[in-house]
Amino acid sequence: MTASEVVDQIKQHIGVPWNDRSHRDTFKLGNPDTQVKGIATTVMVTFDMLKRAHAAGLNFVISHEDTFWNDRDETKDVSSLPLYKEKTEYVLTNDMVIWRCHDHMHAMHPDFTVVGSLRSVGVKGGEDAVMRPRIYTIPETTFGEFASNVKRLTRAHAFRCVGDPGTKVSRILLGPGYATPRVTADADVVIGGEQQEADGFFDDVEYVLDANALGMPKCFIALGHVVSEEPGMEDFGKWMRPFIPADIPIRFIPAKEPFWT
pLDDT tens digits, 186-232: 999 999 999 988 888 899 999 999 999 999 999 999 999 999 999 99
Cα–Cα dist 84/257, whole Å? 22
Res. 70: pLDDT tops 90? yes
Report yes or no on whether pTM surpasses 0.75: yes
Which DSSP letter does residue 242 get? Answer: G
User: Which backbone phi and psi does 24 adopt, to 5 degrees?
Assistant: -85, -50
Domains of the chain are: 3-108 (3.40.1390.30), 112-226 (3.40.1390.30)
Q: 222 by DSSP, 3-state: which? A: strand
pLDDT for position 198: 87
Half-sphere exposure of 147 (CA within 13 A, CB side): 25
Q: Write down the pLDDT at residue 201.
A: 87
Q: Closest by alpha carbon to 163, among 202, 212, 232, 204?
A: 212
**AA letter at 216:** M
Helix, coil or strand: residue 34: coil
Q: What is the mean pLDDT of residues 230-251?
A: 98
Q: Is 248 left (phi over 0), alpha (psi -120 to 50) or beta?
A: beta
Residues 124-139 have pLDDT tens digits of 999 999 999 999 999 9
Report helix, strand or coil for 134: coil
